[in-house]
Copies of this chain bind each other. A is one copy, B any other.
Amino acid sequence: MTQTDMRRLRGVLSPVVTPFREDYAPDARRFVRHCKWLLAHGCSGLAVFGTNSEANSLSADERMTLLEQLVEGGVPAATLMPGTGCSALTDSVRLTAHAVKLGCAGALMLPPFYYKGVPDEGLFRNFSEVIQRVGDDRLQVYLYHIPPVSQVPITLGLIERLLKAYPKATAGVKDSSGDWNNTKAMIDAFGKQGFDVFAGSEVFLLRTMRAGGVGCITAGANVNPHGIDKVYRAWQSAEAETLQATADKVRGILQAQVSMIPALKATIAHYADDADWLTVRPPLVELTLEQRAKLVSELAAAGFDMPGIKS
């Protein structure tokens, strides 16, 4: 295992939801506090500025400021895997260089997502330019495959080209396709080369670990890091299936709500007794009072809790 490998994140990562004030300005104080709670309750890393972080509703400057505030606020950079893949190449380069300079463990990179139907050659050039322009040996790129949202996929062929051209920088992938066969194909093809495959949802965690993956980066870890971490820690034990089923139950409730991100925020708002957490930035819309009541009663019925979340 090389030095680089030693520093690699594994286990349960949360794409941390971003708290906003009433005027939609990011709320750094609540953000730092939530990140610390996550690290204390089962997350081994924080994939801040992911899809569930409403990162694409934030400007590049807002993201960089928040990242600096996290580190200044005492969140170790070695736990951070910020999202840095933007629609514009120049933004991706800027955010990625900034993350590396701060000492972040990795950068989770969406492909440029505005133009659809682009060739793999164009996507290769995008990542290639980022890696070359950042020009830092510490850079660990995690590719972010989330076709239901980005509509632009990360194919096996693209991963192969990147691994060949940049074996040190091409660190892994988050597969949020929701298609287990695809996750398995990624692990089978590249897992043995030190390419780290994270499932994009906790429901695939046990299967991912058994197949040779390294963990999951999942929305559900915003509220249930402890439950998901239990699956990760015990994946080789006899209890693994039971723990997975328990985690799945919480995920199922969250996913059945009208909209995932507002549901995560409503869950935190409820258990932290802090209504300020409800705010989402347009184009998202917060849950209604009725939708929140339904969510909370379903979580309570499942015996769910967020220990220590109240300040």
Q: Which A residues contact B (CB, under 8 angstroms)?
A: 24, 51, 54, 56-60, 62, 87-91, 94, 111-116, 118-119, 121-123, 125-126, 129, 148-152, 281-285
Establish whether residues B282 and A88, one from each chain, have CB atoms under 8 Å apart when the complex forms: no
Task: Tell me if A126 and B94 are in contact (CB < 8 A).
Answer: no
Structural contact, B119 and A285, CB atoms closer than 8 A: yes
The chain B residue with its CB closest to the CB of A280 is: B122
Residue of B nearest to A91 (CB): B59
Most buried by B among A59, A62, A115, A283: A283
| Contact between A148 and B116, CB atoms less than 8 A apart | yes
Contacts A24-B129, A94-B59 hold; do A284 and B88 have CB atoms under 8 A apart? no
Given that A57-B114, A115-B283, A283-B111 are contacting pairs, would A89 and B24 also be in contact in the complex, using a CB cutoff of 8 Å? yes
- In the complex, what residues of B have CB within 8 A of residue A129's CB? 24, 282
In the complex, what residue of chain B is closest to A258 when comparing beta carbons?
B119
Assess the A57–B285 pair: CB atoms within 8 A.
Answer: no
Contacting pair A284 B149 (CB below 8 A):
no
Q: Please give me the 7 A-B residue pairs with the lowest Cβ-Cβ distance, nearest first.
A: A56-B114, A122-B283, A125-B282, A126-B282, A118-B283, A59-B90, A56-B87
Do A283 and B57 touch across chains, with their CB atoms under 8 A apart? Answer: no
User: B residues within 8 A CB of A91?
Assistant: 59
Contact partner, A113, options B112, B114, B122, Cβ 8 Å: B114
Complex: A251 Cα to B122 Cα, angstroms: 25
Given contacts A24-B129, A129-B282, contact A89 B119 (CB under 8 A): no
CB-based contact B283/A152 at 8 Å:
yes
CB<8 Å pairs between A and B, sample of 14:
A51-B115, A57-B112, A57-B114, A57-B115, A58-B88, A59-B90, A59-B91, A60-B60, A112-B282, A115-B149, A115-B283, A116-B151, A122-B282, A123-B283
Could you tell me if B57 and A60 are in contact, using CB atoms closer than 8 angstroms? no
Q: Which residues of B contact A114 (CB under 8 A)?
A: 51, 56-57, 113, 149-150
Cβ B283 vs Cβ A125 within 8 A: yes
Residue of B nearest to A119 (CB): B285
For A58, A88, A121, A125, the residue with the greatest tally of chain B CB atoms inside 10 Å of its CB is A88
Decide if B149 touches A57 in the complex (CB within 8 Å).
Answer: no
Q: Return chain B residues, CB-CB under 8 Å to A149.
A: 114-116
